[in-house]
Amino acid sequence: MRAIWKGSISFGLVNIPIALYPATRREELKFRLLRGTDLSPVNYKRVAEKDGKEVPWDQIVKGYEYEKGKFVVLGEKDFQRVDLEATQTVDIQDFVDVDEIDPMYFYKPYYLEPQKGGDKAYVLLRDVLAKSNKVGIAKVIIKTRQYLAGVKAMKDTLVLELLHFAEELADAEKLNVPKKLEPGKREIDMGEALVKSMTSKWDPKKYKDDYRDALLEVIEEKVESGGKEIEEKPKAKKESSKVIDLVAVLQQSLARNEGGKKKASTHKSSKSTRKKAA
């Protein structure tokens, strides 16, 4: 992996040189827009709204729309006037309990790797965070933007996870959701039973991007056919999602789930019987 940022973690008088690495990757399928007649790639031009003319890069400036249709232009000196200190420092300002932070605030993780001379302080911070179940709340500037971030311990590694600022989260109170409606005791009992029957240990490898895999199959078929149209396979009919009787739906869900588990256990036992016989 290639570091996207190098700097240091700072808390109190402790300074740890670190490098920042992406902790996630998004394997999206990339498509180009083509002209249908000859499959020539379509490119974009920078065109001015006023007269439709193409604008070269050296004539483009950055502007902020402070009123509808009214802009103020900001140059490089204007951006430099914004005094953001410690541009290469993850400046930890507070330590808070992990459980106090709503998961909605977290949105993008990065791995932190200690650089030369930082191993001992890195291990100290990692172990203290793990034992105390704390997160270091910091501000960090990556490229040209300042972020709120949390420094967390994850096994042997320190992770910096970007956080939303409070004003970035939409207010859920504005949603029209049922607040006074309460399900009956029988519905709650059956709902809990259904959740219990579907509960398993967290295994992230169990879940795959089905859409991406299916789309890749379609692409491979089209490549093999020379780009010809592929006959669509008949799709299985989906069960109606309209809830008429919640208790009846819960009963059906429980029965189906228990039936699936019995089949799985029978399949496992028959496999083990065959192995013993062999």
Among positive and negative, which fits the CA dihedral 199, 205, 206, 211? positive
DSSP state of 198: T
Residues of the chain with pLDDT under 50: 86
Residue 86 pLDDT: 46
Residue 160 pLDDT: 95
Residue 274 pLDDT: 57
- Angle between helical axes of 185-197 and 246-277 (0-180°, round to 10): 20
- How many whole angstroms separate alpha carbon 148 and alpha carbon 139? 5
- How many whole angstroms separate alpha carbon 45 and alpha carbon 52? 10
pLDDT digits (tens, 9 = 90+) for 27-41: 778 888 899 999 899
Q: What residue type is assigned to position 200 of the chain?
A: S
Q: Which pair of tokens denotes residue 100?
A: 């106090």
Compute the C-alpha angle 82/87/88, nearest 5°: 175
Nearest in space to 148 (alpha carbons), one of 94, 217, 208, 214: 94
Residue 275 pLDDT: 55
- Give the burial string for 188-200 (b: 16+ CB within 10 Å, else e): eebbebbeeeeee
- How many whole angstroms separate alpha carbon 40 and alpha carbon 35? 5
The residues of the chain that CATH labels 2.40.290.10 are 5-25+82-168
Residue 96 pLDDT: 96
Kindly report the number of other CB atoms within 10 A of residue 129's CB atom.
20
Residue 272 pLDDT: 56
The overall longest dimension of the chain from CA atoms, in Å, is 82
- How many whole angstroms separate alpha carbon 20 and alpha carbon 112? 5
DSSP state of 58: G
CA dist list (Å): 77 to 73, 74, 82, 106: 11, 8, 9, 33
| Reported CATH class of domain 5-25+82-168 | mainly beta
Residue 17 pLDDT: 92
